[in-house]
Structure 1
Amino acid sequence: MRTFLAVMAAVLAVWAAPAAAAETAVLSERPGHPGLLFIDNPAIVDPQPMRAESYNRVAGDRAVGVHFTTGTPQCYGVHASVLETPETVTVELFGGALPEAAGRPCIMIAVSGILEVPLQNPLGSRQVLTAF
């Protein structure tokens, strides 16, 4: 019985422990970055974390254009989540297949993409980070 309780306590401790924080990296600002504009799509299939490469400011200071590399927009989509603090804006990107592309052949070609990520507060002088 004592062993059972010890095992259950260990399982509960691991289950209840907070997940390790995602790593972050500072994004460099690259105004005028060329790329295809993607629309945020939370319905992507099998979303996988992807690293943003850089960002640009968007007119009005209430969004950032996040730059990344992915597949063609006919087959692949992206979804972003944002965590804002007074000092930073952390963008977490996920890439995956479009639901309508399931079972369809897709060409394997790298595409430079941009996703405009809305912010709750103006970017101002805050640092932009990517989580991965």
Structure 2
Amino acid sequence: MRRRLTLVVAIAACTAAPLLCAGTAGAEPPPPPVVTTLPERPAPTGTTPFADDPSIVDARPQTIESWSRLPAEDAIAVHFATGTPECYGAAADVQETTDIVAVKLRTGMRADAVGRACIAIGLTGTLELPLRAPLGNRAVLGIT
């Protein structure tokens, strides 16, 4: 009899486990970040400057197309595809080591543009990023 009770409890636990755990399982984890060595290119002509804006809404990872050196040795500019600066903004996190400068760029809707009609025109944006130390020969990486 004891063996039968153990079997019934085991079957009940196996059957109920997915139901009990379904509410706690949460969404699938985000994909791991993709790290890319970015090409150094002169700033494209006709780029639109953006200011770093951490208040953007619905921020999403943004691919950086290229980067360029600035006159100041402790800053770089990154270039990316985006929408008009009247509606869209960009924010960046920069991590530095002695060998690399890693940039995680996000774009999204400007907080003051939420609910406003925005035109859908694509353009190349540029965001200047200060560095803690001169760039030197460090590699510039994009993280998306």
Length-normalised TM-score, structure 2: 0.77
Q: 3-state SS of the aligned residue for 1:29?
A: coil
- Counterpart selection for 1:49 from 52, 55, 61: 61
Are 1:130 and 2:142 an aligned pair?
Answer: yes
Are 1:85 and 2:94 an aligned pair?
Answer: no
Q: Report what 2:10 is aligned to.
A: none
**Structure 1 residues 4-40: Cα deviation after superposition (integer angstroms, max 9, x where no partner):** xxx9xxxxxxxxxxx9752110111111322111000
Q: Report what 1:22 is aligned to.
A: 33
Structure 1: runs of 5+ lacking an equivalent: 8-18
Q: Alignment length, in residue pairs?
A: 123
For 1:74 and 1:57, the matched residues in 2 are separated by: 26
RMSD between superposed Cα atoms in Å: 2.5
**CA gap 1:52/1:103 in 2 versus in 1, 3 angstroms:** same
Structure 1 runs of 4+ aligned residues shifted over 6 Å read: none
Q: Report what 1:102 is aligned to.
A: 114
Q: 3-state SS of the aligned residue for 1:108?
A: coil
Q: Return the letter of the residue paired with 1:68.
A: F
- Counterpart selection for 1:66 from 78, 93, 117: 78
C-alpha contact (below 8 Å) 1:33/1:56 kept by paired residues: no
Structure 2: runs of 5+ lacking an equivalent: 1-12, 18-29
For 2:133 and 2:33, the matched residues in 1 are separated by: 23
C-alpha contact (below 8 Å) 1:84/1:90 kept by paired residues: yes
Q: 3-state SS of the aligned residue for 2:120?
A: coil
For 1:33 and 1:86, the matched residues in 2 are separated by: 28
| Structure with the bigger percentage of helix | 2
